[in-house]
């Protein structure tokens, strides 16, 4: 009995799909600390170029502290007001946030100017008019030839008119606006790259899942195809009065299914394991055709560990017996051979030959079948290896038919 989903479950399900707020806080903090670490390095380098590095560094502590805090608040605004939205929405929120944070930092620096320590660093330069200008802290000393020096004390920002204070704050805000904008650009680029990588991973996972499903479906087609042909063989044995052979075939059939059905439909097996499975099937067919079916298997020991999809040879071997023995009353040889024509390439050839084709005044009618055969094999190889694998087939010059599979070579570890 199907139970309807409650509204609570629906709400929980929808919220589970939404991105968590501040999910990328580690990425944000990495970029924030990275940016302000670069700023700190430049401040330290500048401080030690002068005569009073200690005062300069102490005065920059407020800028660094407020800067980190405001950048973190800028990230919080982006994460709060643009959560799960498009990158354009994030960029708009970031732009507005940059203006606000740069204005706030500039205002705080202007208001705290009177609290800063006066640096003892001295700047001395020669003016074009011949004066020597010496600046130390907020004092400017102008030394003139044959005259007393003039000492000028620069006013504090708080002593300026409100209009002038606003101009200084605006100039400072513009400088910091570019700093916050640079951080926003780096952060949004990192977010965009992470989203692109996530989408790429999800697409790859979906493609892999679809490929696994396709391989699984194709693999499951083999079992009814094989069972259809085997039941026909059992029916023939019973109808021709050969119950002992039918019983032997049933025992071998149970062994084959026990071995084949235990395999993972998406897993690979070694060539030796695949050949063993085909031997089980061929043993079943040799019960039906004890005098007419000859089997030859030529697999070099060096290729025994080569990997390939499980039961990939099954439809080909079935068709080789079905159509090979169905066209003649003579002895037919079924041959399975493997080789490595080039490094990294495995070639498996299944062929049937021998016997004289029966002649009929009527137009020959192909035996009925499930029409899985080569199409199934080709689709499975394409799903597993893409263009790196292929199927070739055609009649042999001396009579018979040949099917050749070519696929990449990979071997079992150890």
> Please, are residues 255 and 230 in contact by the beta-carbon 8 Å criterion?
no
pLDDT, residue 364, reads 44
Most confidently modeled range among 89-103, 246-260, 349-363: 89-103
Q: Cα separation of 68 and 35, whole Å? A: 9
Give the CA distances from residue 54 to residues 11, 50, 59, 111, 156, in Å, rounded to whole numbers and listed in that order: 58, 10, 9, 22, 21
Task: Tell me the average pLDDT across 257-276.
Answer: 81
What interhelical angle do 373-385 and 162-239 show, nearest 10?
Answer: 150
Residue-range domains of the chain with CATH:
21-203 (no CATH), 242-408 (3.30.565.10)
Confidence band of 181 (pLDDT split at 50, 70, 90): very high
* Confidence check: pLDDT of 368 > 50: no
* Confidence check: pLDDT of 168 > 70: yes
Smallest CA-to-CA distance from 90 within 20, 198, 187, 15 is with 187
Lowest mean pLDDT, pick from 162-171, 197-206, 283-292, 375-384: 197-206
pLDDT, residue 225, reads 58
* Confidence check: pLDDT of 220 > 80: no
Return the DSSP state at 150: E
pLDDT, residue 229, reads 67
Confidence band of 2 (pLDDT split at 50, 70, 90): very low
> Please, are residues 257 and 296 in contact by the beta-carbon 8 Å criterion?
no
- Return the number of other C-beta atoms located less than 10 Å from residue 233's C-beta: 20
Smallest CA-to-CA distance from 405 within 352, 341, 353 is with 341
pLDDT, residue 304, reads 93
User: Bigger pLDDT: 336 or 381?
Assistant: 336
pLDDT, residue 243, reads 85
Q: Cα separation of 285 and 234, whole Å? A: 10
Q: Cα separation of 211 and 207, whole Å? A: 6
For the chain, the straight-line distance linking the first and the last C-alpha, in angstroms and rounded, comes to: 51
pLDDT, residue 413, reads 56
Task: Tell me the average pLDDT across 285-310.
Answer: 90
Task: Tell me the average pLDDT across 386-391.
Answer: 90
**In the numeric block, which tokens belong to residue 374?**
């080569």
> Please, are residues 149 and 142 in contact by the beta-carbon 8 Å criterion?
yes
Q: For 299-354, how does the pLDDT look when each residue is reduced to its tens digit (9 = 90+)?
A: 999 999 999 988 889 889 988 888 888 778 889 999 999 999 999 999 999 999 88
Lowest mean pLDDT, pick from 131-135, 150-154, 203-207, 307-311: 203-207
**Whole-model pTM?**
0.51
Percent of the chain with pLDDT over 70: 82
Q: Cα separation of 249 and 377, whole Å? A: 26
Q: Cα separation of 86 and 370, whole Å? A: 51
* Confidence check: pLDDT of 90 > 50: yes
> Please, are residues 247 and 238 in contact by the beta-carbon 8 Å criterion?
no
Confidence band of 359 (pLDDT split at 50, 70, 90): low
pLDDT, residue 14, reads 38
Return the DSSP state at 4: P
Q: Cα separation of 67 and 166, whole Å? A: 20
pLDDT, residue 3, reads 42
Task: Tell me the average pLDDT across 353-375.
Answer: 58
Confidence band of 129 (pLDDT split at 50, 70, 90): confident
Lowest mean pLDDT, pick from 75-79, 196-200, 254-258: 254-258
User: Residue 156: enclosing H or E segment and its boundaries?
Assistant: none
Return the DSSP state at 270: E
How many H helices and E strands in the chain?
A: 9, 11
**In the numeric block, which tokens belong to residue 149?**
């020096």
Task: Tell me the average pLDDT across 164-176.
Answer: 88
Q: What are phi and psi for residue 401, nearest 5 degrees?
A: -145, 150
> Please, are residues 316 and 403 in contact by the beta-carbon 8 Å criterion?
yes
Percent of the chain with pLDDT over 90: 33
User: Bigger pLDDT: 346 or 254?
Assistant: 346
> Please, are residues 334 and 350 in contact by the beta-carbon 8 Å criterion?
yes
Work out whether strand 268-270 and strand 390-395 pair parallel, antiparallel, or are unpaired: unpaired
Lowest mean pLDDT, pick from 100-109, 174-183, 317-326, 370-379: 370-379
Confidence band of 5 (pLDDT split at 50, 70, 90): very low
Kindly report the average pLDDT of the chain as a whole number: 81
* Confidence check: pLDDT of 262 > 60: yes
346: Cβ contacts below 8 Å, ≥ 6 apart: 271, 303, 306, 308, 338, 339, 340, 406, 407, 408, 409
* Confidence check: pLDDT of 154 > 60: yes
Confidence band of 239 (pLDDT split at 50, 70, 90): confident
């Amino acid at each position: 009995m199907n139970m309807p989903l409650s509204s609570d479950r629906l709400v929980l399900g929808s919220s589970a799909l939404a991105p968590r707020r501040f999910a990328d806080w580690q990425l944000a903090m990495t970029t924030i600390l990275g940016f302000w670490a670069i700023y700190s390095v430049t401040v330290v380098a500048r401080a030690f170029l002068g005569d009073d590095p200690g005062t300069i560094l102490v005065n920059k502590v407020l800028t660094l502290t407020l800067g980190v805090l405001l950048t973190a608040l800028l990230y919080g605004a982006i994460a709060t007001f643009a959560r799960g939205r498009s990158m354009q929405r994030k960029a708009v929120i970031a732009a507005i946030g940059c203006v606000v944070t740069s204005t706030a930092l500039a205002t705080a620096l202007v208001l705290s100017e009177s609290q800063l320590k006066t640096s003892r660093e001295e700047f001395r330069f020669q003016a074009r008019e011949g004066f020597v200008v010496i600046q130390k802290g907020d004092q400017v000393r102008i030394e003139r030839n044959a005259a007393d020096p003039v000492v000028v004390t620069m006013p504090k920002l708080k002593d300026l008119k409100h209009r002038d204070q606003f101009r200084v704050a605006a100039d400072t805000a513009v400088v910091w606006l570019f700093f916050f904008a640079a951080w926003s650009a780096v952060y949004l680029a990192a977010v965009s790259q992470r989203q692109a990588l996530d989408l790429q991973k999800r697409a790859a996972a979906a493609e892999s899942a679809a490929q696994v499903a396709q391989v699984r479906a194709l693999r499951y087609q083999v079992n009814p195809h094989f069972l259809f042909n085997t039941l026909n063989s059992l029916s023939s044995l019973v109808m021709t009065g050969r119950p002992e052979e039918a019983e032997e075939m049933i025992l071998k059939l149970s062994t084959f299914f026990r071995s084949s059905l235990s395999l993972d439909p998406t897993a690979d097996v070694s060539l030796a394991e695949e050949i063993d499975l085909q031997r089980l099937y061929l043993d079943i067919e040799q019960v039906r055709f004890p005098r007419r079916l000859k089997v030859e298997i030529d697999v070099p020991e060096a290729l025994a560990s080569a990997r390939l999809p499980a039961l990939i040879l099954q439809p080909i071997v079935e068709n080789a017996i079905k159509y090979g023995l169905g066209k003649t009353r003579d002895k037919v040889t079924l041959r399975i051979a493997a080789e490595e024509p080039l490094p990294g390439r495995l070639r498996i050839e299944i062929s049937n030959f021998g016997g004289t084709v029966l002649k009929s005044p009527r137009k020959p009618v192909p035996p009925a079948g499930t029409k899985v055969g080569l199409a199934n094999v080709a689709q499975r190889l394409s799903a597993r290896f893409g263009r790196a694998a292929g199927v070739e087939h055609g009649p042999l010059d001396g009579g018979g038919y040949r099917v050749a599979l070519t696929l990449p070579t990979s071997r079992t570890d150890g």
